[in-house]
Amino acid sequence: MTMIHKAPWFWAWVAAIAAFCATWSLSAGGAGGTALAVAALTFGSFSVMTGLGQMLVITMGPGNTDLSIPATMTLAATLSLKLMGGMTGSAGLIVLAGLVSALAIGAGVGVANFALIRLLRIPPIIATLSASFLYQSLAIWSNRGLRIKPPQVLADFTTGRALLGIPNLAWVALIISFGFWVLLNQSGFGRRISAIGQNPRAARLAGVPTARVSATTYVICAIMAGLTGFLLACFSGGAALNMGAEFLLMSIAVTVIGGSSIAGGNSNVPGIWAGALFMYLIVSMLNSYGLGAGVRLLSTGIIIIAIVAAASGRKARL
């Protein structure tokens, strides 16, 4: 592994570790290291899970971005928690029903998104944007301001640290990440996504079923959003209408910071983790400086743009 510093995710990890050390040194006497790591892993997991889906979509090339992730998260969380709240019976069955319904809502959203892109021939950004209004409305309508509590089992699971002191959520995200790594790097499907992103025309002429691959990608992305919404709602004690808001930027940001090409065709999974941890740590670092919400927002934006500007430089001017 002499070439490790050449990996696209290398600098993202350096930045994440630097941010960790900087934040750690600020916390009282360095004692908060474990707490900080646990928090970063927990909150980072949500960014990782949305980011993985968005990464696959972005891999397919310019214009491919899913803007319906926040609405999908809210919709899946609201409906699945409502379903679980109304159920009686064994806890295992309730949890299973909730999980399956969240995933199914995600899949439905993905199919709807792709149908719009395909049938109306509109750019994915606009298709997912307009559709997200409908999902948002659906969530508002079904929620009606009620905050339904998740089943205790799920609340315990999502906030717990059962294995090696690492948050359960991080394990879930890690297992899924491994799945995505296999999908992207070891499977024909992953190679087809990258091929489409590098040159859609060449991919089509080479016999890649572009429509099918693209449909699958949007469905996977929406399912990931549904799952993240479900877990986030269980973690935070209920679904809220704006719960997904920050994950629109976050999912794109972690992809780009992690060294995946925003122009598509070249993505990597390890970078998603670095990007997610970095984004959380930067915010908590700004927090521990005691800065207000305004400065925090401002710095987050500037940092993202600076990283994007620095990272894209190598491939400028094709």
By CB under 8 A, the residues from 93 to 122 that bind another protein are 116, 119-122
Whole-angstrom distance, CA of residue 32 vs CA of residue 30: 6
Sign of CA pseudo-dihedral 127, 128, 133, 137: positive
What lies within 8 Å, CB to CB, of 178 at 6+ separation is none
Q: Which stretch binds another protein (CB under 8 A): 22-30, 47-55, 157-165, 287-295?
A: 287-295
Longest Cα–Cα distance in the chain: 61
Q: Residue 151 gets which letter from DSSP?
A: P
Distance of closest approach, residue 161 Cβ to another protein, in angstroms = 31
By CB under 8 A, the residues from 296 to 315 that bind another protein are 296-302, 304-305, 308-309, 312-313, 315
Q: Which is nearer to another protein, 65 or 217 (CB)?
A: 65
From residue 140 to residue 179, what is the string marking binding to another protein with x (rule CB under 8 A)? xx--x-----------------------------------
Distance of closest approach, residue 207 Cβ to another protein, in angstroms = 27
Q: Which is nearer to another protein, 130 or 236 (CB)?
A: 130
Q: Which stretch binds another protein (CB under 8 A): 24-32, 139-147, 186-194, 196-204?
A: 139-147
Going by C-alpha positions, the residue among 280, 222, 305 that lies closest to residue 19 is: 280
């992305």: which residue's tokens? 221
Q: Which is nearer to another protein, 151 or 258 (CB)?
A: 258
264 within 8 A of 61, measured Cβ to Cβ: yes
295: Cα within 13 Å, side-chain hemisphere: 10
What lies within 8 Å, CB to CB, of 243 at 6+ separation is 73, 74, 77, 229, 232, 233, 236
Q: Which is nearer to another protein, 108 or 167 (CB)?
A: 108
Looking at 172, 216, 249, 266, which residue binds another protein (CB under 8 A)? Answer: 249
By CB under 8 A, the residues from 31 to 70 that bind another protein are 62, 65
Looking at 126, 166, 172, 183, which residue binds another protein (CB under 8 A)? Answer: 126
Whole-angstrom distance, CA of residue 175 vs CA of residue 181: 10
Whole-angstrom distance, CA of residue 7 vs CA of residue 34: 28
Q: Which is nearer to another protein, 105 or 231 (CB)?
A: 105
Distance of closest approach, residue 70 Cβ to another protein, in angstroms = 12
Q: Which stretch binds another protein (CB under 8 A): 33-41, 44-52, 201-209, 290-298?
A: 290-298
What lies within 8 Å, CB to CB, of 250 at 6+ separation is 47, 50, 51, 276, 279
Going by C-alpha positions, the residue among 19, 39, 54 that lies closest to residue 269 is: 54
The count of residues interacting with another protein (CB under 8 A) is: 50
How many other CB atoms are found less than 10 A from the CB of residue 75?
A: 31
Distance of closest approach, residue 121 Cβ to another protein, in angstroms = 6
* Chain centre distance of CA 27: 28
For another protein, the binding residues (CB under 8 A) are 62, 65, 116, 119-123, 125-126, 129-134, 136-138, 140-141, 144, 248-249, 252-253, 256, 262-263, 292-302, 304-305, 308-309, 312-313, 315-318
